[in-house]
Amino acid sequence: MANSSQLLKGILEGCILKIISKNETYGYELYSSLKESGFDDLSEGTLYPLLIRLEKNGFLSSVSRNSPLGPKRKYYSLTKLGQEELLDFCSSWSKVSKSVEKILRSDLNE
């Protein structure tokens, strides 16, 4: 699939917003959560540009805090605009996933 990386980025953005909506988090913790959820091929080189874009678009805010284990960490939280974007993503995902499931479960010879 030629545009699978673009599709994945859109899905990842929604997943990132959802994870951050639960708790303020920093990049590596978010990366670990995504990996544990099954995004096995995800690299940090994919995640951090997405975080930058989400913050630039006003969906995330960030603050740097001292870390007990080394350099400062950048903690992300959802903005009001990010909450709205997450609701839009969830609605769109629900519609798209139902349509795709309907097609995939249908008999292709019908």
Sheet holding 60-67, edge to edge: 25-26, 70-78, 60-67
5-39 in b/e burial notation, b at 16+ Cβ within 10 A?
eeeeeeebbbbbbebbeeeebbbeebbebbeeeeb
Per-residue pLDDT tens over the stretch 49-64: 999 999 999 999 999 9
Domains in the chain, ordered, with CATH? 4-105 (1.10.10.10)
What is the average pLDDT score of the chain?
Answer: 90
- pTM of the entire structure? 0.86
In this model, does residue 110 exceed pLDDT 70? no
